[in-house]
Structure 1
Amino acid sequence: MNRITALFLEKKTQNLNIYFTAGFPKINDTKLVLKSLQEGGADLVEIGMPYSDPVADGETIQQANQVALDNGMTVKLLFEQLAGIREEGITVPILLMGYVNPVLQFGVEAFCQKCQEVGVDGLILPDMPASVYEEEYKAIFDKYGILNIFLITPQTSESRIRHIDEISHGFIYMVSSASTTGAKSGISDVQEEYFERVNAMNLTNPRLIGFGISDNETFKKASSHSAGAIIGSAFIKMLSTSTDLDGDTKAFVKMVKGQ
């Protein structure tokens, strides 16, 4: 069974997914940050593939992307960095998050095959249209056991949300607001109404809430409406000033979880 699927069967709420950019702050920090997140208690880890023209990411993650690219980070190098991680004791579900163009350049089947080889469980590609995924790529993803995670927003129609639920496995990424990552903090009454509206649809897949989650308060509030939450910008900001990546990463996870 896919590790993401297994996680949500076992743990229904308070799941914490932490995002970080591969090759940031330094090019060889990817594996260190991944291990520290697992040891700190993250339930899932989302590794960003640096890209020069991100469409959903705010200033903090854009800057991390640029630093990683300047460091020399590539998709090929990321797979090299992840090789052997499962044999080294990494058991946490891992997703790669990025944009579809680098995946197309790599070759979709070759990319999915490498994900399977190194132990990546799922992909988040915000600019991959659902129709294109269904018609052209779903069979390839299924062949290699890779889950494709779709995003929904407050503006997504009920019919589209239900369609995404039908073609999804694992979880649905529930974007909390129509903004870029890191642009807002906290959760408003309007956002809570959106969470409850989606909950009332009784979807098959669990949801994780992202955008605007940064601490224990927002994590708990998001988890009260979903299976958990995703934190990216707040963690990247911490990494950018850290002098002890291992210790600070573990402390960050425990802070968010209230441990």
Structure 2
Amino acid sequence: MNRITQLFEQKKNNILNVYFTAGYPELNDTTTVLKALDESGADLVEIGMPYSDPVADGETIQASNQIALDNGMSVKLLFEQLAGIRPSVKVPILLMGYINPVLQFGIENFCQKCQEVGVDGLILPDLPVDVYEEEYKAIFDKYGILNIFLITPQTSESRIRHIDAISAGFIYMVSSASITGAKSGISDVQEEYFARINAMNLTNPRLIGFGISDNETFVKASSHAAGAIIGSAFIKVVSTSKNLQTDIKAFVQAIKGA
């Protein structure tokens, strides 16, 4: 069974998914950050594949992307860094990024490499649902890789139900129409959106992302979904860290209220 599916079967709420950018702050920090998150109690880890034009991301993650690229990070190098990681890292791993670098690598080669190194799923915000279904779903399924779709407050009910029907693992519920890290806190409008989606009784669990930055927002988001995703707030901690292991553990514990 896919590790993501297994996680959501075993744990129904307060699931913490933490995003970080591969090759940041230093080129060889990828596995250090990943292991520290695993050891600190993150439930799911989302590794960003640096891209020159990360349109869904705000200033903090954009800056980390650029620094990682300047450091020499690439998809090929990321797979090399992740090779052999599985005996020491148990947490489910997602790769998050944009479709162009994946297409350049080759979809089948990419999925095969994911399977080899122990990556469980992908988040590709600019991969259209119909293109995935028609051209790539069979390849993802062949290698046991889940494709995680995003929904927003603007996504129609029919589209949400279609995404739910073709999804496995979870649905990434974008809390607002803004970019990542653009705001903090959860508004009444967002809570109405969360309630509307809950009332749809979807098959797949949801994780809420964008604007989650501390224990308060994590707890509030988790009351409307299976858990939440934190990216920009974690990148800020990593960017100023003098000791990644210590600071990452403190961050995860603070978010979880441990």
Same fold, TM-score > 0.5, yes or no? yes
Q: Which residues in structure 2 correspond to 1:164-179 (within 5 Å)? A: 164-179=163-178
Which residue of 2 is the match for residue 86 of structure 1? 86
Counterparts of 1:21 and 1:84, CA distance in 2: 19
Deviation at 1:228, TM superposition (A): 0.1
Matched residue SS, 1:56 = coil
Tell me if 1:153 matches 2:152.
Answer: yes
For 1:35, the equivalent position in structure 2 comes to: 35
SS in 1 for 2:229: strand
SS of 2:27's partner is coil
For 1:255, the aligned partner's letter is A
**For the residues of structure 1 that align with 2:160 and 2:233, how far apart are their CA atoms?**
28
Aligned match of 1:67: 67
Letter in 2 for 1:249: I
> Where does residue 52 of structure 1 map in the other structure?
52
Residue of structure 1 equivalent to 2:126: 127
Residues 92-131 of structure 1 mapped to structure 2, 5 A cutoff: 92-131=91-130
Instruction: Report SS of the residue matched to 2:28.
Output: coil
Residue 148 of structure 1 aligns with an amino acid whose one-letter code is N
In the alignment, what sits opposite 1:2? 2
CA distance in 1, matches of 2:200, 2:253: 32
Runs of 5+ unmatched residues, structure 1: none
Q: What are the Cα deviations for residues 40-62 of structure 1, in whole angstroms up to 9, with x where unaligned? A: 10000000000001110000000
Post-superposition offset of 1:220: 0.2
In 2, distance between residues paired with 1:69 and 1:250? 26
Letter in 1 for 2:173: M
Partner of 2:238: 239
Alignment partner, residue 223 of structure 1? 222
* Partner SS for 1:139: helix
Q: Provide, for residues 165-206 of structure 1, a one-character-per-residue CA deviation record: whole Å limited to 9, x for no partner.
A: 001000000000000000010000100000010000000000
SS in 2 for 1:141: helix
Q: Equivalent residue of 1:112, what SS?
A: helix
CA deviation string 1:16-57 (max 9, x = no partner):
000000000000000000000011100000000000011100
- Give structure 2 stretches of 5+ with no counterpart: none
Distance in 1 separating the partners of 2:120 and 2:249: 22
Deviation at 1:115, TM superposition (A): 0.0
1:92 Cα offset (Å): 0.3
The Cα RMSD (Å) is 0.4
1:134-160 C-alpha deviation (Å, 9 max, x unpaired):
000000000000000000000000000
Question: What is the distance in 1 between the residues matched to 2:104 and 2:249?
Answer: 35
For residue 95 of structure 1, give the secondary structure of its aligned residue in structure 2. strand
Counterpart residue number, 1:183: 182
Name the aligned partner's letter for residue 82 of structure 1.
Answer: L
- Give the % identical residues: 82
Offset, 1:249? 0.5
Moved over 4 A (4+): none
Find the counterpart in structure 1 of residue 208 from structure 2.
209
Cα distance, 1:238 vs. partner?
0.7
Compute the TM-score of the two structures, normalised by the length of structure 1: 0.99
User: In the alignment, is residue 15 of structure 1 matched against residue 5 of structure 2?
Assistant: no
Q: Aligned equivalents of 1:207 and 1:231: distance in 2?
A: 14
